[in-house]
Amino acid sequence: MGNGLLQSIADNVTFVLVCIGVAGSLFAIAYAAEKYVYKRDGITERILSTRKITMIGLFSALAMILHIFDFPVLFLAPGFYKLDFSEIPALVGTFAFGPVAGVMIEFCKILLKLVVKGTSTAFVGDLANFVIGCSLVLPASILYMFKKTRKNALLACVAGSLIMTVFGTAFNGVYLLPAFSKLFGMPMEAIIAAGSEINGNINSITSFVCFAVAPINLIKSVAASAVTMVIYKPLSPILKTAHVPAGRKVTDNARTNVTQ
């Protein structure tokens, strides 16, 4: 019993460290990309201004509300996999305020959800939602930040959706499902069996993530992208000021980014 308890503590500590490492890495990638564009365009304002922080809080609250109203998709996956549309405010927010804002919206959304609702998956589902959500908003926002046109926004959404689907599927198979099995005490065989009851093609971890996880990630990313493409342009004048940001050197490239 003593060895089992120590192993459980070690598994939980390892999981926490992985969460911290993943979150830190995503913030670093977002910051580096945004800093590069700021330097390229001659912007001297802070990446996290007071107004941005306020808007991040607002979008995080909206994302948390949508996240709370998640629901199982029982014709695709077992009930512990749920679908939500919290990536919509995250994607709109990251298009408006940059990659750092997008990662912070995803992060704050999870913190708020844990405070309001807690966790039902030993925090594995919460890590999954954060990391996989970032795999959509981070690449999409970085691509859009380099050239802010409607065509590039569409390409950014397509790229983000593909990355989210592929990465989310692989991340589930390689790390999340084994972690869930350990921390939640559910044997991997039982997880696969639960998937097999829904889809007879599921008989291994690989087939589980391909037939159960991938479709959910695809539905979620495509829905978030489609709604963002419809509502972002009308919302953009409200979300951002109509003038050049403080500290920006007004270059041709800067004018293009502001007016498009």
Q: What is the DSSP string of 98-164?
A: -HHHHHHHHHHHHHHHHHHH--SSTTHHHHHHHHHHHHHHHHHHHHHHHS-SHHHHHHHHHHHHHHH
How far apart CA 182 and CA 88 sit, in angstroms, is: 32
Query: Structurally, what CATH architecture does the domain formed by 2-240 represent?
Result: Orthogonal Bundle (1.10)
Please choose, from the candidates 39, 236, 258, 56, the residue with its C-alpha nearest in 3D space to the C-alpha of residue 137.
56
pLDDT of residue 185: 78
Q: How far apart are the first and last CA of the chain?
A: 63
Higher pLDDT, 159 or 6: 159
Mean pLDDT over 31-52 rounds to: 89
Q: What is the pLDDT of residues 188-220, one digit of tens each?
A: 999 999 999 999 999 999 999 999 999 999 999
pLDDT category at 246 given cuts 50, 70, 90 is very low
Q: What is the pLDDT of residues 48-102, one digit of tens each?
A: 888 899 999 999 999 999 999 999 998 999 988 899 999 999 999 999 999 999 9
Give the tokens for residue 189: 């065989």
